[in-house]
Amino acid sequence: MHDPGLMISGHDPKPVLVLGTDDIASAVGHALARGGIRTVLVRDPTLPVLRRSMSFDDAVEYGSVLLDGIVACAADLPLLRGACGLLSVTARRPEELLDPALIEGVIDARMRRRDEKHDLRGALGFAIGLGPGFIAGGNVDLAVETAPEATGRILRRGETIPAHGKSVPIAGVGRERFGRAPRPGLWWTHRAIGEAVEADEVVGLCGGVQVRAPLRGCLRGLVRPGSEAHTGMRLLEVDPRGPKARYQGIPPRAAAIAAATLAALRELCDSPRPVAQAETGAWLA
């Protein structure tokens, strides 16, 4: 694999593909772009982004997003030579982009906690997986832990910690700060991230059923209106800290995971594995 420091120096550098556009994936893209590595974030159509003001996801809707000093641009064809600078965001299918002729390697940051993980190594220069379900030396080259008790730990061999449903507490509040879909259906809300809410206040409708704020505070996350929801999906998040609430910019946990991911990438650059020959169409089948 090429040294990341050289990825932007050639005439036609190949970018790194980051699967996901939520706050974790966006923090990874931010770290790579700050390191001079050309990066493409790929929206996951199966899971709408919750913390939109902490991510680059809205670039798909509005053309560009500025997040902590880095601009990401939307691109239907994100791999056009230099068209979008160091960081772009796309809603194209990952299968269309997982091509060793187009990209350097892949980082799966979609945080699909309980989905079966396929072998991402294929014929790409590298594959890194974030969170539950990845096996370093198995379905990815290296893995990065995202569990609260091991955030940012790099695994060189073995499986990451299985999903256990625990959330990093904010002011002592864990899972209780999320409002979830009571049934499948379309999600609608007129509220905005950053607005104050009271406990039990109606924030939106999912499949025609009211979804209420679980506690008093500030809306830290809010799924985009018009999104299709499945039962139990997180639709809103409340920060209970009042005036000290944080709902913009890269959060500390995401920054720690991103720093570890960049370190893992540089480690792979120092000792690249032999490239395997595999059918690219099977990577995300």
The predicted-structure confidence for 61-74, as pLDDT tens digits, reads as follows: 999 999 999 999 99
CA distances from 122 to 52, 103, 173 (A): 32, 12, 41
* Across 198-202, average pLDDT: 97
Mean of pLDDT values over 195-209 = 97
**Would you say residue 14 has pLDDT above 90?**
no
What are the domain boundaries of the chain?
4-163+253-282, 175-240
pLDDT in tens, 182-193: 999 999 999 999
**From the candidate CATH numbers 2.40.10.10, 2.40.50.100, 1.10.1240.10, 3.30.70.141, the one assigned to the domain spanning 175-240:** 2.40.50.100
Helix (H) or strand (E) holding 14: none
- The answer to whether the 4-163+253-282 and 175-240 domains have the same CATH topology is no
pLDDT digits (tens, 9 = 90+) for 129-139: 999 999 999 98
- Ranges of H-type helices in the chain: 23-34, 59-62, 94-97, 252-270
Count of C-beta atoms within a 10 Å radius of residue 33:
23
| Distance separating alpha carbons of residues 63 and 145, to the nearest angstrom | 32
Please state, rounded to an integer, the average pLDDT across all residues of the chain.
Answer: 86
> What gap in Å lies between CA 280 and CA 121, rounded to an integer?
9
| Mean pLDDT, residues 94-98 | 85
Average pLDDT for 100-118 = 82
Mean pLDDT across the stretch 216-228?
Answer: 97
Domain 4-163+253-282: CATH architecture, name and number where available: 3-Layer(aba) Sandwich (3.40)
Q: Does the reported pTM lie above 0.75?
A: yes
Q: Decide: 187 and 229 in contact? Cβ < 8 Å.
A: yes
Contact 172, 185 (CB under 8 A): no
107 pLDDT more than 90: yes
Asked whether the predicted pLDDT for residue 84 surpasses 70, the reply is: no
Residue 116, phi then psi, degrees to nearest 5? -65, 135
Between 114 and 191, the higher pLDDT residue = 191
